[in-house]
Amino acid sequence: MRMLALYSIKGGVGKTASAVNLAAEAAGAGQRVLLWDLDPQAATSFYLKAKPRIRGGVEKLVKGKSSFDKVIRATDVDHLDLLPAALASREMDQLLAKRGNSHLRKILKPVRDDYDLVILDCPPSLSHLSESIFSSVDALLVPVVPTVLSLRTLQQLQVFLDDHDIACLLWPFITLADRRRVLHREVMANMHEQWPLMLSTVIPSASVVERMGLERAPLPCFAPRTAAARAYAALWQELAQRLR
């Protein structure tokens, strides 16, 4: 079972849309996928028509005392299951602080034979939860808008990992790109030199991505021929090559 996390210190970079679309693309390619919504804002759960789990569950899940059958939900996408957000998931930080690193992978041990890929949609914060994420996943997928401030948060993330001696791969990729803007073109032109593990696929800024909130579905389900959908399909193919 491989684990990837969509993570960024900065909000508004297309993290959740990327998590949902990449999970759908992986499922469409035949992977058995579990998408875990770790963000208390529950946008991933909303996109996939699941209600957040409001009462209980979080503490039992972290302690290994909760059955996954009771919390994992099937979605409208074949081969894609969802572990919905819990409005109390902010409590996970305190719970995980009492346990060692890689605890998220340990939590998922009962279902590791049920899925080929787990994708985590993470809150934009640095905490015990994020450190557990960093120590559990095979790589962090970091969406970066091609602006100076967004690039700066990527650099801050790398500094944090280095300072805490956390060996976690960073795979940045460009989102919300507008090639008509000079600044976007300049940032994209220089990023590959600074970040050799950067994914080459660029996700364009597109209004159809915003429609995911109205359709409550991934792009492959309602707009598969759009430029944004094709970009996410290409991004998944690139990731699949790295995960082999």
Cβ(6)–Cβ(19) under 8 Å? yes
Q: How many CA atoms does the CB half-sphere of 144 hold within 13 Å?
A: 30
37-50 per-position pLDDT tens digit: 998 889 999 999 99
Contact 130, 7 (CB under 8 A): yes
The answer to whether residues 154 and 45 touch, using CB atoms and an 8 Å cutoff, is no
| Per-residue pLDDT at 134 | 95
> What domains are defined for the chain?
2-243 (3.40.50.300)
Backbone angles phi, psi at 201, to 5 degrees: -70, 135
Q: Which residues of the chain have pLDDT under 50?
A: none
